[in-house]
C-alpha cells in the first residue's frame, strides 16, 4: 500500500503516519515529490484496514499497489530517480557511458585502457577484479590487486570506477576501492548479497540474470531499496534464447518496458548482450534510441590477448567511433 499525503501536509502529520505504520508492524519509506509526500508501507501481507489511515490528518488517499514490487515502481515515485556517481548522473538527460576491460589483467592494460576510454568520452571506468567465470579453470580475476589497479586508474583519469562484488563478505574490501558496486547476472538472485549492498551507501549496478524476467529483476532491485539504498541502476545485458549465432539476445524491449514500470535508471550492456565485437556498436545505438540512460561497454587494447571476453571487446578506436555515433543518436532524441 502507498499513502499519498495532501499537498502541504505538515511534517508532524507525516511523522504521525510513520509512527502509526511502525506501530502496526510495517516499515515506512518516504518519497518526497515536488508537491507531495508519498509513503510506501512495506511489510508482510497481513490484511490491513486502509481506511484507518485515510481518516488521519494530512492524508489524501491510500492506494493498493498490485504489482509485487513497490519501492521501485512508478506508483511509489513518478519522477525518474537520478543516481549520482562522482558528478556523473544516470537517469537525467545525459546518457552515461561506462567503459573498460572485462577483467583487470595487469597495470599496463588497465591504465592504457582507462586513458583511451576517457579520451574517447567515457564517463566511468569498468573492470572486474573478482570474475564469475563459467569454468573454475578460467582466469578468476586479480582480487585486491585488481582493485588497487582500478583505484590507480581512477586517480590518473578522474573517472569513477564500477566493479563487481561477488559475495557479501567482499563488501568492506570492494567499497574501499570502488564507486559503484556491480552485481553480475549470475548473482541477480543472490538475496544475501542484495541485502548486503542494500545496507551500503554505494550506488549499485544490478545486471539482469540471463534467464530472469523483468519482474524478477525488479524484485531483486526491491531487495536493495527495501534495505535503504535507493541508488540502483538496472542493466539489461542480454538473455538466453534459442538463437546461438550470438552469445545472448539483447532484449531491447526491456529498456522502454522497465522505464515504464520503474523510476530507476536503466542502462544497456551491448557487449554481453550480443557477444561479438562487430555487432556491439549497432546494438548500443539501438539501446540509446530505445531510451537507455547509459551504456556499459567492454574495451581492450589487445582483444586477442584478453583473459576474458576478448571476442566482444572493442579496440579503443572502435569505442571512440561508438561514442561519436551515440552522441548523434542521443542528440536526435533530445538527450545529451
Ligand atoms: C561482466 O560485466 O564482465 C560480467 C561478467 O557480466 P554479466 O554478469 O552480465 O555476465
Ligand atoms: Mn565480461
The pLDDT assigned to 46 comes to 62
Has residue 176 got a pLDDT over 80?
Answer: yes
The pLDDT value recorded for residue 4 is: 94
For ligand 1, atom 1, which residue shows the shortest CA distance? 102
Q: What's the gap in Å between 214 CA and the centre of ligand 1? A: 17
Rg (CA), the chain: 21
HSE, CB side, 13 Å, CA atoms: give it for residue 130. Answer: 21
**CATH topology classification for 2-63:** Alpha-Beta Plaits (3.30.70)
What is the structure's pLDDT at 43?
84
Residue 287, C-beta contacts closer than 8 angstroms, at least 6 positions apart = 236, 250, 252, 255, 268, 270, 295
Question: Which ligand 1 atom is at minimum distance from the Cα of 102?
Answer: 3
Integer Cα distance of 2 and 122 in angstroms: 39
Q: Is the pLDDT at 17 greater than 90, yes or no?
A: yes
Predicted pLDDT at 66: 78
Backbone angles phi, psi at 335, to 5 degrees: -120, 180
What pLDDT is attached to residue 49?
Answer: 79
pLDDT of residue 98: 98
pTM of the model as a whole = 0.95
Q: Which of 104, 190, 237, 308 to mutate to test the pocket of ligand 1 (most atoms within 8 A of CB)?
A: 237
> CB under 8 Å to 53, separation ≥6 — which residues?
1, 3, 17, 20, 59, 62
What is residue 44's predicted lDDT score, i.e. its pLDDT?
73
- pLDDT tens digits for 46-99? 667 788 899 999 999 998 887 889 999 998 999 999 999 999 999 999 999 999
The superfamily (CATH) of domain 83-332 is: Aldolase class I (3.20.20.70)
- Percent of the chain, pLDDT > 90? 92
How many other β-carbons are positioned within 10 Å of the β-carbon of residue 330?
19
Check residue 45 and give its pLDDT. Answer: 60
If you take atom 3 of ligand 1, which residue's CA is the nearest one? 102
Average pLDDT for 11-31 = 94
Mean pLDDT across the chain: 96
| Stretch among 21-25, 200-204, 321-325, 332-336 having the lowest mean pLDDT | 21-25
**Cell triple for residue 259?**
522505464
Q: What is the pLDDT of residue 102?
A: 98
**For residues 229, 235, 238 and 239, what is the CA-based torsion angle, rounded to 10 degrees?**
20
Q: What is the mean pLDDT of residues 272-295?
A: 98
Residue-wise pLDDT tens digits, 294-308: 999 999 999 999 999
Which three three-digit cell numbers place residue 53? 489511515
| Residue of minimum CA distance from atom 6 in ligand 1 | 184
> How much is the average pLDDT of 28-42?
90
Q: State the closest ligand 1 atom to the C-alpha of 309, by its place in the atom list counted from 1.
A: 3
Planar angle of CA 77, 166, 184, nearest 5 degrees: 55
Digit-coded pLDDT (tens) for 212-236: 999 999 999 999 999 999 999 999 9
Look at residue 158 in the predicted model and tell me its pLDDT: 98
What is the pLDDT at residue 194? 98
Ligand 1 atom showing the smallest separation from residue 208 Cα: 9
Domain ranges of the chain: 2-63, 83-332
180-183/88-90 β-pairing: unpaired
Instruction: Pick the atom of ligand 1 nearest to 296's CA.
Output: 2
Give the CA count within 13 Å in the CB-facing half-sphere of 330.
Answer: 19
Asked whether 300 lines ligand 1 (CB < 6 A), one says no
Question: pLDDT for 92-129, tens place per residue?
Answer: 999 999 999 999 999 999 999 999 999 999 999 999 99
Q: What is the C-alpha separation between 175 and 200, in angstroms, rounded?
A: 9
Amino acid at each position: 500500500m502507498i499513502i499519498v499525503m495532501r499537498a502541504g501536509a505538515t511534517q508532524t502529520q507525516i511523522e504521525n503516519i510513520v509512527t502509526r505504520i511502525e506501530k502496526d508492524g510495517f516499515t515506512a519509506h518516504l518519497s518526497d515529490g515536488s508537491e507531495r509526500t508519498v509513503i510506501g508501507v512495506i511489510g508482510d501481507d497481513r490484511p490491513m484496514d486502509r481506511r484507518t489511515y485515510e481518516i488521519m490528518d494530512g492524508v489524501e488517499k491510500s492506494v493498493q499497489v498490485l504489482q509485487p514490487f513497490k519501492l521501485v515502481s512508478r506508483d511509489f515515485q513518478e519522477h525518474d530517480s537520478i543516481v549520482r556517481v562522482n558528478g556523473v548522473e544516470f537517469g537525467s538527460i545525459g546518457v552515461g557511458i561506462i567503459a573498460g576491460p572485462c577483467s583487470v589483467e595487469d597495470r599496463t592494460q588497465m591504465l592504457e585502457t582507462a586513458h583511451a576510454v576517457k579520451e574517447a568520452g567515457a564517463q566511468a571506468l569498468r573492470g572486474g577484479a573478482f570474475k564469475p567465470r563459467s569454468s573454475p579453470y578460467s582466469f578468476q580475476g586479480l582480487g585486491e590487486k585488481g582493485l588497487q589497479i582500478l583505484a590507480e586508474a581512477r586517480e590518473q583519469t578522474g573517472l569513477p570506477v564500477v566493479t563487481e562484488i561477488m559475495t557479501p563478505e567482499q563488501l568492506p574490501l570492494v567499497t574501499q576501492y570502488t564507486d559503484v558496486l556491480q552485481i553480475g547476472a549470475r548473482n541477480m538472485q543472490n538475496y544475501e548479497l542484495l541485502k548486503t549492498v542494500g545496507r551500503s551507501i554505494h550506488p549499485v549496478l544490478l545486471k539482469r540474470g540471463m534467464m530472469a524476467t523483468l519482474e524478477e529483476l525488479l524484485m531483486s532491485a526491491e531487495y536493495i531499496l527495501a534495505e535503504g539504498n535507493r541508488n540502483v541502476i538496472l542493466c539489461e545485458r542480454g538473455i538466453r534464447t534459442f538463437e546461438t549465432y550470438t552469445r545472448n539476445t539483447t532484449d531491447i524491449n526491456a529498456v522502454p518496458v522497465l522505464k515504464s514500470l520503474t523510476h530507476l535508471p536503466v542502462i544497456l550492456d551491448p557487449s554481453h548482450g550480443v557477444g561479438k565485437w562487430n555487432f556491439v556498436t549497432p546494438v548500443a545505438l539501438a539501446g540509446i534510441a530505445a531510451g537507455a540512460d547509459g551504456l556499459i561497454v567492454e574495451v581492450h587494447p589487445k582483444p586477442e590477448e584478453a583473459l576474458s571476453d576478448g571476442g566482444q571487446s572493442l579496440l579503443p578506436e572502435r569505442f571512440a567511433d561508438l561514442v561519436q555515433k551515440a552522441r548523434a543518436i542521443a542528440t536526435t532524441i533530445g538527450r545529451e
